[in-house]
Amino acid sequence: MNKPMIGVLPLYDEEKESYWMLPGYMKGIELAGGIPVMLPLTMDVEIIESIVHSFAGFLFTGGHDVDPLMYGEREELFCGDICGERDRMEELLFQMVVEMDKPAFGICRGIQLFNALLGGTLYQDIPTQYQTNIQVNHKQKPPYDHPAHCVFIDKESPLYEILQKDSLYVNSYHHQGIKALSKDLTPMAKAEDDLIEGVYMPNKKFVLAVQWHPEFDYKEESSSRLFKAFVDGCNNE
């Protein structure tokens, strides 16, 4: 069987004017039977169209905060760094991926991006904007392969089908999160403070995203199952 070629959205370092990549994104896909390829950052529609046709699926990685303008809000002081080029490219790419029903897996920024592009909104800073009686460590200190909190998984969701667990301890490194959920997304998992930690598009073959970071512990069983489910979805292309 030919291994599926999977496009991986690049991380960007403004100071070094450099694309870069965490090895766990690539290794997670490789160990699951796919061939990961880091994409360029481009806003050229013809190039993006060619990319969509050339790859079996796409991994939307973590990184910069999503521009609040993408979900109809002004940027607050507590919003983090934004990369406009990533936002614009990923908006174009995601639209085409959804239209063509290509597999898409979002991690951290990925879940926030999917929600924003599909009409949802985000907390620009969870500690500032989301107050609950339950304290959850959403932004742990290194090492990032250690669990930080628990998520509860909907038994009717694809995530339960993949993991065969109704709860899971996950790592966590984010300060933004889903506020109003897009009507096109269905929640799969929530943290103890009720923040949404996993979503999917029920009318698509594989558009799924999680808030935690399986790339940091890609050899662990639950993380490897996530990558395997994604690569298997790409194999069906």
Tell me the C-alpha distance between 85 and 75, whole Å: 17
The catalytic position among 108, 138, 149, 174 is 108
Catalytic residue at 138?
no
**CB-side exposure of 187: number of CA atoms within 13 Å?**
17
Rounded to a whole number, what is the largest CA-CA distance in the chain?
51
Catalytic residue at 91?
no
The catalytic position among 90, 138, 213, 234 is 213
Beta strands per DSSP E along the chain:
5-8, 11-13, 18-20, 35-38, 57-60, 104-107, 122-123, 149-153, 167-170, 177-178, 186-191, 196-200, 207-210
* Amino acid (one-letter) located at 123: Y
The catalytic position among 64, 90, 215, 234 is 215
Catalytic residue at 174?
no
**Residue recorded with tokens 């061939």:** 35
Residues designated as active site: 108, 213, 215
